[in-house]
Each structure stands twice: as C-alpha cells, then as structure tokens.
Chains A and B, each alone.
Chain A
Amino acid sequence: MEKKLLHFCLNGEEMEVQVDPSASLMDVIRDDLEMTGTKAGCNTGDCGACTVILDGEAVRSCIMPALHVMDRNVETIEGIGSPDNLHPVQEEFVESSAFQCGYCTPGMIMSAKALLDKNPEPTGEDVREAIAGNLCRCTGYKKIEEAFLSAAKKVNSKSS
C-alpha cells in the first residue's frame, strides 16, 4: 500500500512521517518513530498501556488510525518530565513506589496527566474513572490511586 505523509505535533514538535494508511498511531510512534515509551499490551484497546494524549484527551493509540491525528496535538510519555524535572505524577510514583513491572506505568501517567490538565482538583472517584481503562496486574492499583491524588495536591499547591 502506498504510504501517506502524516504531519502532526508530537510533544510540542512538528513531525512529518510517511505512514502506512492502515497503521495505528501506536505503530507509528513505536515503530516508525522508535519511541518505545508508549507500550503495546493488547492491540485491541482493552488494556490502556498504549495511552497517549490527543488534543487533551487520553486515547488508546493502538486503535487510533495514525492518519486521524493529522494536524493535531499528540503527547506521549517522552514529553512528560525529565530526570531533573519530573511531572508531579512522576515524582509521586518515584517516592511511593507506585509501580512494579512498570509496563502499565506510561499509560497510567498519561491518563492521570490528561485528567489533571482538565481537572486540577479531582476526587478519588475522578481518579478511578480516569484510570478505569488502564489495566495493571502487579500493583492492585492502590498505590497508583494514592500517587495521583498526592500529585493533584502538589499541582494545586504549585499553582496556588
């Protein structure tokens, strides 16, 4: 199949890449752009490991056709924080060991960030709903929820 030119904004940077029209956004990110922070867990949109943020909404990149992000804004885990400047969610994860194998972690963080960007004062219920589509087999979710709520408090105290 003939490739098509996809241009979109990725982590604040203008990107142009030739893609297979049938490729998913996850395939383009992981294979064409070799950014493997976004994880592949099921390829059917069920586990959330592939979660990225598209125009402010958390989406499953494995079932999002790549061409659907033409001229739109995509954020992946690579665009969140850096070793010297972690996002509050990342800080909380590190401090409270809210991860184990880490495979669901990028997806969890993207879901949390999407929530916090829209709703800086989420309730426990808001947090649970935001990550309801992110499967984790290692942690039992408890430390993840607690890390997100602590991060929200941090974000609030930073901005206030």
Chain B
Amino acid sequence: MKEFTVVGKSIPRRDALDKVLGTATYTTDVKLPGMLYAKVLRSPHAHAKVIKIDTSKAKALPGVKAVLCHLDIPKNLFCSSAAAYVTTPPVKGVVDQYIFESTARFIGDEIAAVAATSLAIAEKALALIEVEYEVLPAVFDPFEAMKPESPTLHTEPEKKEGFPEYPENNIVGNKIPPVIGMGDLEVGFKEADYIFENTYIVDAVKQAQLETHGAVADINSEGKLTIYSPSQSLHPTKRIVAEALGLPLSQVRVLNPPYSGGGFGGRIGCSAKSEVITAALAQKARRPVKLILSRQEDFIASDTRHETFATLKTGVKKDGTLTARFIKVIMNGGAYASWSQDAPGVLASTAMPVYRCPNSMFEGWTVYTNRTSAGAMRGFGNPQGMFCVESQMDEIAHALNMDPLEFRLKNISRPGDAVPVPFPLVTTGLRDCITQGAEKIGWSRRVEPDRQKSTKLRGMGMGVGSHVSCSHPFHVDYSTCQLILQQDGSILYSTGVPDIGTGTSTTLPQFVAEVLGVDISMVKIVFGDTQSTPFEVGSHASRTCYAAGKAAIAGAEKIKKEILEYAADYLKLPEDDLDIAKGMVYSLSNDNVKVSLGEIALQAHLKTKQFSCIGTVPPTNALPWEAHFAEVEVDTETGQVEIIQLVAAHDVGKAINPAIVEGQIEGALSMGIGFALTEQYQIDENGRQLYDTYHKYMMPTVMDMPPMETIIVEEHEPSGPFGVRGVGEAGLVPTAPAITNAIFNATGVRVNQIPVTPDRLLTALKNQKGISTVREDEEIYAE
C-alpha cells in the first residue's frame, strides 16, 4: 500500500502567517474609496404594524446618502438563509422575508436602514426616522402560537402559496407528519417488556462567533454588485441577493475578503440580511456601503439554534434490546423561516441511524413565534436530538440495572443494518470510539458516589451519536472544482468553498497535492469568491472535506491523466510507464527520465495547449460516528458543575490533517460545555432578549475548559475521499448528554432540560427526583 505524501499529515495552515501577523483581512476590515457606513433601525416591539414611517428628516441630514424602508424597496420575497434555495423538489422552500416590511415580528426586526458618510451621522439619522407603530399581541411559546386564538405571524397569501393549510396556527412550511422510519411501531411496542416515555427541552443558544455579521457592498456604473461578506456559503448568498433585489445572478458577486471570523451555521446564506441591505443601499447611493452589526445586534437579530421540545417513547426488552421508538419534536422557529422547515427532519435523520431499532417513527415541525429567528447552528437539530436520545438511553440503562456502556454496545447499528436514511450504513467505527473513549476516561472507575458523605459528588457519563458528511440528498449538494496547470508547474485549483476557520484552504489542496504528486506549495487555491469558482453550496453540513475533497480527487486524477498522456508522447514512452512525484513526471523503468511539470506545461503551451479540467463526481453521503465521555464534580450546595475531564472519540474515516481535525473537535467540545451548562437564549415577558452581549451570554472562557482528550478513529468510509467522513459538527453532538448523564451518575437526579444551570439543578436536587421539564401541559405530547 503506497504511503501518503501529504494526506494524514498535520502540515501548517496556509493562512497561518496572515492570522498570526494581523494581516488577515475580514469583512469588518474592508475599507473602500467613497465608502458609506450603514445603520439599521430595529423594531422595539415584538409584534407591531408600521402604521406610518417618515424618513424625510433623516434623508435631509447632511452626510446621509440613502435611507430605505418598506416604501423604497423592491417587493421580492426571499429567504435570508440558503434554506429556500437548496430545498429539493417536490418540497418547496419557505420564502417569507422582504428587505423591509410594514410588520415587525420580533424585537430587533429591520424597519429601515441609513447609509451616511460616517457611523456617527448614520446613528443620528436613525434617530430622525419617525415611525408610528401599532403594537400587536405577541406570542413567544410555540404551543401557544399553535392555538387558533394566537396572533398569526405571516398572513400574506404569497408566503403561504404551495404549503398546506394546517389546523394549527403558525406552522412553518411543511410539517413532517408521522413518518415510519422503519417497521411497525405497534408491533414494536407490543414486543417491549418496558416502555419509557420522557419529555425534554433544549434551550436555544447562539453561534456567538467572534466576527459579528455584516457586509460591504460595492456597485459599479453598470449596476454590478461586489459584496464582501463573512458568508460561509458564497454562491447561495449571491442567489439570495439577486432574488431580493430582482437582479440576474450574473450581476452579483459575493466574496470573503478572504477570511471569515467564524460561522457555525449562522451565515449559511446572508449574515443577518447584511448583504441584502448593503446592496440595496449601494444601489440607492451609488457608492459602496458597509454595515457591521454590533455584538448586541448580532445576538438579537441573527439566527439562533432552535429551541426544541421533544417526547421520546421507547420500548425495550428485559435484556436491553430496543424494540420500538417514537420521537416527536416541536421546534420554536422565531419570526422568520430560515432553516425551520428543515431542522426537524435533520434531527430525525441524524438520530435514528445510531441504534438498531427495528420499529421507529418520527413526527415534527417548527412553529413561528415573535422572537429571534432560529436557523442553522452547528449540528442543526442533532445536538438537540441526541441530548434527548442519550438522556433516555441512560435512564433506560439505569432502570434495567445495566452498564450504560454495555447497553449502548448492545444496540448500536452495525455495518449493513437497514437505516432510515437514504444512503447506506457501510462502515462504522462507533464500537472503537466507545471502547477507546471508555478506556481513556477510566470508565471502569465509574461508581455511584456515597451521596451522604459529601456535598461534592463525582460521576461519569457518556453519549454517542452520528451526523452526516454533506447534505445530499436532503438538500442540493454537489461539488465542482477547476484545475489548471500553470507554466511554472503549479496548479491553480479553484473551488467555491470558503475558509471560515475550518482549514479548508489547507486541507483541500492536500487532496490535490497527494493525487497529482506535487508539493503542497505548488497547489494554489482560489476560494471563497463566486466570480472565480464553480457553484459550491459552501461550508455547512460538515461537507467540505468529504464532498469538495471528492471533487478535488476527481479533478486531480483527470488532469494527471491528461498530463501523462501528453508526457508519454513528449517522452516517447508508454503512458503506463510514467508517474508523477515531487512535481516531476518520471519513468518507472528508467531513473534518468525525469521532466518537471513546469517543463511539460511550457512545452505544451508553445504547442498551443494548456492543461485544465473540471473535477466533479455524483454526490454521496456517509455517517460519521462519535462517543463522548465526561467526568464531573457536582457541588450540591451551589448547583455548580465542574467538568473534571472530557474524552471525545471520533470515527472520521481518515484525518487528512490531524491537527485541524483535533482543533475542530476541541472547539466543538467547548461549545458542548456551554450548551450543557451555561449558554441560553431567554426573553422577558415583552420578548426582549436577556443575554444579548458577551458579558451576559455565558460561553466558555479558557478558565471553564477541563482537560480534554481527543481520540481519532479511522474506520475507512468507502464513499469518502481517502475514506473521509464529516467531523465539523459531530464534535458537538454527544457532549451535552455525556455531561448531564455524568450529573445523574453523581447525584441520582436527572434534569431533562439544558442548560443544566445551577438553579435548575438545585431545584431537582431539592425535589430529590428529576424535573422532567418545566412544562405541565402533558396533553400536548399525546399522539
């Protein structure tokens, strides 16, 4: 077996120098000649009609070059995330946004925008916009919102077109009706010796990436827009701007400048509408316009994760074999659809393949409410789903007096098992992840502490999960790259993928370098710009290494063949006697025959030929696997939970750049800790967000991080490039239940809602039984 030259090696990242020297340019750094500064006027009301809006005083302020409100914009429906534009027929994508409307649907909703010669003038101008609101009743809870007497958020017929009328109010797009994943639920529950039914709540949380949302839109005299954006999906963002402004796609260019300060799902599409708003202002002012959201605006006016309410009903035999499972989920979608039609289905598709449960069913949907829109955030329903599934698995194991680890091993899916997703489960390294992770943390030490002896109790817990390696066939997802051999022997490699920090601009060239046989420095990547790259949906669904990697290999193989064909003729040797290594075409049988790629390229060029090709393959998908283990110490007097250690074992198929893979997992673990214990999106009775700054939003600092170990398992995935599976989101999937299951092991008390804040834990400890949820209305969960 040939040894890899660059794949599997933690080579330094190509963006390293820029980032450590401070020369990396982000959207927040972009400055163009004649640039104007924008500010957005936001609704102070959770639900209100704009009865009257007068922008004349704002327009008259010296320095103000454009003011826009619902009276000034083209009335084109769009969706500010890529969701509506990657939805595959016959499902229709939900489009329910205009640039500005005469209805505000959450506190922070965009009412108008100003572009002026300075930020100070723009702020002054905002204050001069006169708005008369008619405050409407608001609804914040999805169960309330479904009631017929609740206010309906979107009444416009054009927004409803193509979607069913449901008896419930405020349903986003299509519900997923009770769908049989596999088998026959009735049969399954009959076979069960025990049936467990539990309800769970997962609070919404926020991406909170370090670079706030924003954009800079430039325009030329022909109306062509160039938009600098931190988007993680440049091509879809381009489409959204074109749709919103009613422009042909070719009139819009979207690019990262070239770096983006984090995404985590928050900008799969627009950065909180910034690209659309700046483009509209630039059209009006005929000058470049920059809009950068403040941190508070980022919190209140850009997509959160979905708050999720779930019931799990699971049947199990005495010996621990799962027989049936019914998952019902209702998600809180906030004011606009974004990814809300998709999230419940993703929860189902990522949770259900994990265990071999022959009879399973899922039902779920999302509901509109008057709070910040929920959209995509790392894991996209899977972290919520697996918190529920893994909490219940832990509960079942405890009831059956089985080791939770043995109970998992008994029930996890095996290669060849039928799974309720439209692609096969061919290989799985989950068993290895579980056994290796267990050994690392010292699972054999796990005991229930003597709870009378101390107020500091230690415990251990675990969680497992899967995810996806791209979004095919759930969404439009395919990858194309372009390769051109240049006359110095370097390869120009063009891909529509961004680098939002995940290291794609280093890892993807590793594929090309490996296949082609050149040094990594000879692969020149062009990325993150719609003008110079083929369509790519972007960096989401943990897809870039898997999907773009496959296209890179296809392209590199193709251009290599073309080069060797030419070289065979040039060297007068049979093609199968030639190969490429270290940038040289060489003869396998004659050591003396060597010619550089640069020489081949030049010779071909002199004979009017350049080597170029397109790399693309039909899309596939694959399941990644992960197991997390947590050891905690609970202070039963304060409700504080300290994490003693975390172990994360991941089957990534193949780690192309191990340091980058570890970094992705370690970062996800820190998000998982916050998700489990401290981060939450909450509103007051008027709908105003409570934790809307970094000061109030409790995301982990370095002081909150425990010792962490990452274990990389490489169970080759045949459909993946060099065996790769997705990993970007998997690191956040079982972390929370590993921690909360550890809390149960320590205290004997289970909190079925995350985050397990000190007050929630103290309430549970006081009651000396778990709190199921903080809701009482059981009838909502009836089948």
Contact = CB atoms under 8 A, between A and B. Distances in A.
A99 B28 CA distance: 19
B701 A77 contact: no
B237 interface: no
B210 A103 contact: yes
Contact of A139 (B13, B16, B666): B666
B695 A99 contact: no
A145 B702 contact: yes
Contacts of B19: 93, 99, 102, 105
A21 to B, nearest CB: 13
Contacts of A100: 262, 501-503, 663-664, 667
Nearest to B264: A137
B327 interface: no
B703 to A, nearest CB: 5
A27 B264 CA distance: 28
A101 B695 contact: no
Contact of A38 (B22, B212, B693): B22
Interface stretch (A39-47, A115-123, A152-160): A39-47
Interface in A32-87: 34, 36-44, 46-47, 49, 76-78, 80-83, 86
Contacts of B24: 102
A37 to B, nearest CB: 2
A104 interface: yes
B28 A141 contact: no
Interface residues of A, number: 55
Contacts of B660: 97
Interface stretch (B442-450, B668-676, B748-756, B767-775): B668-676
A17 interface: no
B12 A95 contact: yes
Contacts of B12: 94-95, 97
Interface residues of B, number: 58
A7 interface: no
Contact of B708 (A36, A101, A131, A140): A140
B663 A132 contact: no
A29 B149 CA distance: 55
Contacts of A82: 21
A81 B22 CA distance: 10
A138 B207 CA distance: 10
Contacts of A134: 701-702
A141 B702 contact: yes
Nearest to B210: A103
A46 B501 contact: no
Given A36-B29, A39-B28, A47-B295, 20 more contacts: A37-B22, A40-B292, A41-B694, A47-B210, A77-B22, A78-B21, A81-B20, A93-B19, A94-B12, A94-B17, A101-B262, A102-B18, A105-B19, A137-B209, A137-B671, A139-B670, A140-B668, A141-B702, A141-B705, A143-B666
7 tightest A-B CB contacts, nearest first: A37-B22, A101-B501, A102-B19, A77-B22, A103-B261, A140-B666, A100-B501
